[in-house]
Amino acid sequence: MTPRILSKSFLSIVAGAVAGLSLGCVITTSGGGNDECGGILSHSHETGNGTCKCDSGYTWENPDDPEDFDCERIEGKDDPNACTEPNNILDGNVCYCEGGYIWCNPNDANDYSCCVDPAQDAISGTDDPTSATDVSDTVADTGTDTSATDPTAADTTDSSDTSNDSGAEPDPADCTVDTPDALFCSNTAEAGPEGSIYYTCVDGTWTENATAGDELCMFDGYSFAYGCVDDGSAIAFVCGNGPGTACNSNADAMCVDADVINTCLFGRLTEDSCATICNTIGDDMGVTYDSGFCDPDATPPECFCCDAGEEGCPA
């Protein structure tokens, strides 16, 4: 058998996107984790009647576990010409079901019919999980260093309402001399941390704080912060390891050595271990392997996963 290659698109997911960070952590100020609805980057949210639902386009990762509130993205199908069934949406050349729906037969590549997904909200659309109220945090607190799949609460103090529209600037009315602990992040959890701006309320004026994320992440042993995200209940910094220099695409990927690969993630050059990815996270089907290595001859360089005894697999 030949080693299994991890595609660039898989690397961009497992190396730190919303599915779970292998390279770093999320320093958050309240909530999070797969034992809490609406946890940072869990793609679930609490509805007005107190139930937990998946965000639009996501479904339960473990539907048989009533205490697991993590949701996974519903994968698309690859024939744009077949994307003609009711409730189909074509995004580029990939076909998806509309929000509130899921594939009736996800394992049938030729069946593009969509059925109502009880994991999501009403067909009219999901509640907006990105509007943050009563966010708790203090810049002086160091936060709690955890993996992205299980972030925990840090020391907090109450702050004012910091309602967040993706990419928006904070409302001046939300920062006064009476709300000195108010905070604002310009990006939602769905938008991700790249290009985000973090604001603190100083003497009644919103002030951009460009160093807080790096300081908190470096305090907990990471190299830098990609930026902040607001999941509607907490503001968090997403942390990473590696050079952290600006990059534009995976054309910047490189093998540091036989194991370590640098890829472009959230606009920052990021370091990760191929062996760790292969034996703890696995491929896009969740299959794990004994080992993995970085192949510098691939264009761009990529991780290959393999099992002991296979030709070319590291001992």
Question: Buried (b) or exposed (e) across 108-142, using 16+ Cβ within 10 A?
Answer: eeeebebeebebbbeeeebbebbebeebbbbeeee
Tens of pLDDT, residue by residue, the chain (315 residues): 344 544 433 333 233 332 233 344 555 433 334 457 876 567 788 776 677 888 888 899 888 888 888 888 899 999 999 999 998 999 888 999 988 889 999 999 999 999 988 898 754 344 433 222 223 332 223 232 322 322 222 222 233 333 444 457 899 999 998 888 889 999 988 888 999 999 999 889 999 999 999 988 888 888 999 999 888 778 888 888 999 998 887 677 889 999 999 988 888 999 988 888 888 877 767 788 888 888 888 888 888 888 888 877 876
The CA angle 49-54-58, to the nearest 5 degrees, is 160
Bridge-partner residues for 302, per DSSP? 295
pLDDT of residue 249: 72
* Residue at 57: amino acid letter: G
- Are 74 and 58 within 8 A, CB to CB? yes
Positive or negative torsion for Cα 111, 116, 119, 123:
positive
pLDDT of residue 207: 93
Q: Which two tokens stand for residue 112?
A: 């593009």
Residue from 110, 147, 161 nearest 240 by CA: 147
- pLDDT tens digits for range 110-145: 999 999 888 987 543 444 332 222 233 322 232 323
- Are 233 and 132 within 8 A, CB to CB? yes
Residue from 213, 230, 209, 231 nearest 222 by CA: 213
* 212-220 CB contacts, 8 Å cutoff, 24+ apart: 212/139, 212/237, 213/237, 213/239, 216/27, 216/142, 216/143, 217/24, 217/25, 217/27, 219/142, 220/25, 220/27, 220/142, 220/143, 220/145
The CA angle 61-63-66, to the nearest 5 degrees, is 110
Report the distance separating Cα 34 and Cα 239, nearest Å: 19
C-alpha separations of 112 from 60, 166, 243 in Å: 20, 31, 43
Query: Quick check: pTM over 0.75?
Result: no
pLDDT of residue 138: 29
Name the residue ranges covered by the structural domains of the chain: 4-20+247-306, 26-43+129-240, 48-126
Q: How do 4-5 and 302-306 pair as beta strands?
A: antiparallel
Secondary structure (DSSP) of 162-187: ----TTPPPPGGG--TT-TT-EEESS
